[in-house]
Amino acid sequence: MVGTGGPVATFSVWDYVVFAGTIIGAAGIGLFQAIRTRKESSSEEFLLGGRQMSAVPVAMSLTASFMSGITVIGTPTEAYRFGAAFWLFGFAYAIMSAITAEIFVPLFYRLGITSAYEYLELRFSQPVRIIGTSMYIIQTALYTGLVIYAPALALNQITGLDLWGVLVATGAVCILYCTLGGLKAVIWTDVMQMVIMLAGFLAVIARGAVLQGGLGKIWEDAGQGGRLEAFDFDPDPLKRHTFWTIVIGGSVMWVSIYSINQSQVQRYISCKTLGHAKMSLYVNMVGLWLTVSLAMLSGLTMYSIYKKCDPLLNGDITTYDQLLPYLVMDILADYPGIPGLFVAAAYSGTLSTVSSSINALVAVTMEDLIAPVFKHLTQKQTSWLNMGLSVFFGAVCIGMAGAASLMGSVLQAALSVFGMISGPLLGLYLLGMFFRTPNSIGGLVGMVVGLVLTLWVGIGAQVYPPTAEKTNPLPVSTAGCNNTMGEDYTTATPWTSPVTLPTSPGVRPPLADSWYSLSYLYFSLLGTLITVVTGLLVSMATGGCKQTKLSPDLFVKKSDLLCFSWCTESKVSDVPEKAGLDLHMGITNMAFTDSNGTIKESTKL
């Protein structure tokens, strides 16, 4: 009986057929685009791909990139365990979209950069650029490992396949896909994969509503279980999720993900005009709202079904990240092919994210680390390097997937990784974009100090996780389970870490309940603020106020902002002549135009 615990069915033949067909179809789109543009097999084409893309496909690609298998697996589990507070990220998505579209995108467009970290050399120095690139590579490898691990966990639960076998197979598929295709293939494949992910959520919600007697019953159960109490205005920075940690800390974290992450920046400059690039972020915002809403509804549906029999306490699963896959087989096994669609949703998100991440890793490695040293590589040598780096980073990400199994909840672990590393990087960019005083010494010292502090608090929180008082897990029960013989085990299961502690049980250092308990959503904000303040102070002490040879194009301008650019046409004169003009949809992408604003012959489709 559904919702009462015990073993569930595994994949049927039709599930394997649907799963394989969906993945082959998605990969087929990407390979078709790769073959279609095979004649233009330059390094620029491989790394940048669709240079004349419009807003909607790029927006769906932006959404699919970070709404990956982690979202499919982790967000419903978040709603089940902690309630609907995660829904407040809708505010953070709106703030992030506006800041990125109106501040960062115009700057990158104006400079016509290929790698986001080119800006760091233009504004500061080459060593700062190299360090920024290295931080990005480490962060992306860790995150991509988590992305591979999440659907492998789902496949392990649903199909019974060996977890490590699935990890290696996933990585191998991604390596092949990334080696053959470029960014254009990734973008168009993302469009299909985004649809598949949303379809997986809809299948869970629809079937759950039928079983529970409608969405109204699901909502009623969630309310009775305390899952709808989303607005907590407690200013305590140690509480995991409050209105302030999500809206303030979450906004800074998502800005650091979308504004300076190479895989996202590559998509901005693939748009044919600045207007399309900006519009892609606003359409992406709607996509994020839709995705998180369906994910949260799936989690509330899951709670309604398992409110009296928690599968983890009942011993049916080994980690909460297996909860949604378990639900799928519990309620959808009677519909052959639907579980296969769900796994395809998680797996499609993985292919999307991993392919774009590896493509971005190859881009920054070539542009920031190899090209400045080896300046006379032939086209053939460059192409072989691109493919070799794709294989190398794919193998690294498989290794990181193994490490991901030690990091607890995949959703929180993924966001923590971004907070710890992207926060100091964001602070470095803000130093360069808004202040003239910061120099390379101040920027470098500020970023290092910010990184040290965020790694300190982040790693400490991983080793000594916050107590249930700060994480606020909601109660779950086993009263309705078949194999508990009527015993009622009702408890609030805290956030736990699988890391083995070096101390004896029950012993926590003094910082464990203060510094290490800082909400993971404040990691990015902490790193950003420390970097900006330290960078300004060190720069003033090392002659930063005397800098005179700084191009105005390196700083944010009023003409970049939508409100100013629409109120007056005279402001577009601030843009360099070579950018060309399009008063209806923005400035033509100067990375792909000549000095007259005409599209380069090599970039035409």
What's the rounded mean pLDDT across residues 459-487?
76
Identify the burial level of 426 via C-beta atoms within 10 angstroms of its C-beta, where 0-12 means exposed, 13-18 middle and 19 or more buried.
Answer: buried
Which amino acid type is present at position 280? Answer: S
Averaged pLDDT score across all residues of the chain:
77
Gyration radius (Cα) of the chain, Å: 24
Q: What is the DSSP track for 396-459?
A: HHHHHHHHHTTSSSHHHHHHHHHHHHHHHHHHHHHHHHH-SS--HHHHHHHHHHHHHHHHHHHH
Task: Judge whether residue 247 has pLDDT over 90.
Answer: yes
Name the band, by pLDDT with cuts 50, 70 and 90, for residue 243.
very high
Residue-range domains of the chain with CATH: 13-414 (1.20.1730.10)
Non-local CB neighbours of 596 within 8 Å, separated by 6+ positions:
578, 580
pLDDT at 404: 64
Collapse the DSSP code of 383 into the 3-class scheme (helix H, G, I; strand E, B; otherwise coil) and give the result.
helix
Buried/exposed code over 208-218 (b: 16+ C-beta within 10 A; e: otherwise): bbebbeebeeb
Q: What is the DSSP track for 223-259?
A: HHTTTT--------TTSSS-HHIIIIIHHHHHHHHHH
Do the beta carbons of residue 59 and residue 287 sit within 8 Å? yes
| 483 secondary structure, DSSP code | G
30, 51, 188: which is closest to 114 by C-alpha? 51
Name the band, by pLDDT with cuts 50, 70 and 90, for residue 406.
low
Q: How does pLDDT run across 355-366, given as a tens digit for each residue?
A: 777 777 887 888
Per mean pLDDT, which of 152-166, 435-449, 539-553 is the most reliable?
Answer: 435-449
Non-local CB neighbours of 594 within 8 Å, separated by 6+ positions:
578, 600
Which amino acid type is present at position 121? Answer: E
Tokens of 120: 């760091």
pLDDT at 152: 72
What's the rounded mean pLDDT across residues 530-535?
95
Identify the burial level of 563 via C-beta atoms within 10 angstroms of its C-beta, where 0-12 means exposed, 13-18 middle and 19 or more buried.
Answer: exposed
> Which single residue is written with the structure tokens 């298998």?
69
Task: Judge whether residue 373 has pLDDT over 60.
Answer: yes
Please state the φ and ψ torsions of residue 292, each to the nearest 5 degrees.
-70, -30
Nearest-angstrom CA–CA distance, 86 and 296: 8
Q: What is the DSSP track for 274-330?
A: HHHHHHHHHHHHHHHHHHHHHHHHHHHHHHHHHTT--TTTTTS-SSGGGHHHHHHHH
Q: How does pLDDT run across 36-47, given as a tens digit for each residue?
A: 655 555 445 544
Angle (CA) 31-36-39 rounded to 5° is: 120
Task: Judge whether residue 468 has pLDDT over 90.
Answer: no
Nearest-angstrom CA–CA distance, 334 and 328: 10
Do the beta carbons of residue 96 and residue 258 sit within 8 Å? yes
Collapse the DSSP code of 602 into the 3-class scheme (helix H, G, I; strand E, B; otherwise coil) and give the result.
helix
Do the beta carbons of residue 95 and residue 250 sit within 8 Å? no
Non-local CB neighbours of 193 within 8 Å, separated by 6+ positions:
26, 64, 348, 349, 351, 352
What's the rounded mean pLDDT across residues 338-361?
74
> Which single residue is written with the structure tokens 């480490």?
138
Percentage of the residues of the chain whose pLDDT score is greater than 90: 21
Per mean pLDDT, which of 126-135, 336-345, 511-520, 545-554 is the most reliable?
Answer: 126-135
More confident residue, 406 or 485: 406
Task: Judge whether residue 109 has pLDDT over 90.
Answer: no
Q: Which residues pair with 475 in a beta bridge?
A: 492
Q: From residue 479, how far is each of 2, 100, 219, 248, 576 by CA, in Å?
A: 14, 48, 21, 39, 69
Per mean pLDDT, which of 202-211, 541-550, 557-566 is the most reliable?
Answer: 202-211
Identify the burial level of 92 via C-beta atoms within 10 angstroms of its C-beta, where 0-12 means exposed, 13-18 middle and 19 or more buried.
Answer: buried
Provide the 10 A C-beta neighbour count for residue 182: 27
pLDDT at 302: 93
Nearest-angstrom CA–CA distance, 460 and 458: 5
Collapse the DSSP code of 593 into the 3-class scheme (helix H, G, I; strand E, B; otherwise coil) and give the result.
strand
10-14, 26-30, 110-114, 325-329: the lowest-pLDDT one? 26-30
- The pTM for the full model equals 0.82
48-57, 131-140, 237-246: the lowest-pLDDT one? 48-57
Name the band, by pLDDT with cuts 50, 70 and 90, for residue 154.
low
Which amino acid type is present at position 304? Answer: S
173, 177, 174: which is closest to 33 by C-alpha? 177
More confident residue, 419 or 132: 132
27-41, 290-304, 386-400: the lowest-pLDDT one? 27-41
| 476 secondary structure, DSSP code | E
Nearest-angstrom CA–CA distance, 536 and 435: 8
> Which single residue is written with the structure tokens 């972020």?
281
pLDDT at 515: 85
| 335 secondary structure, DSSP code | S
Task: Judge whether residue 124 has pLDDT over 60.
Answer: yes
Q: Please measure the distance between the N-terminal and C-terminal CA atoms of the chain and give it in whole angstroms.
A: 56
pLDDT at 497: 41
Nearest-angstrom CA–CA distance, 356 and 346: 16
Name the band, by pLDDT with cuts 50, 70 and 90, for residue 209.
very high
Q: Which residues pair with 492 in a beta bridge?
A: 475
Nearest-angstrom CA–CA distance, 509 and 531: 27
Provide the 10 A C-beta neighbour count for residue 161: 15
Task: Judge whether residue 204 has pLDDT over 50.
Answer: yes
**Do β-strands 491-492 and 475-476 pair in parallel, antiparallel, or remain unpaired?**
antiparallel
Task: Judge whether residue 604 has pLDDT over 60.
Answer: no
Tokens of 540: 């003033």
Nearest-angstrom CA–CA distance, 189 and 236: 42
Taking the CA atoms of residue 150, residue 152, residue 156 and residue 159 in that order, the dihedral angle to the nearest 10 degrees is: 120
Tokens of 169: 């197979």
What's the rounded mean pLDDT across residues 409-431?
81
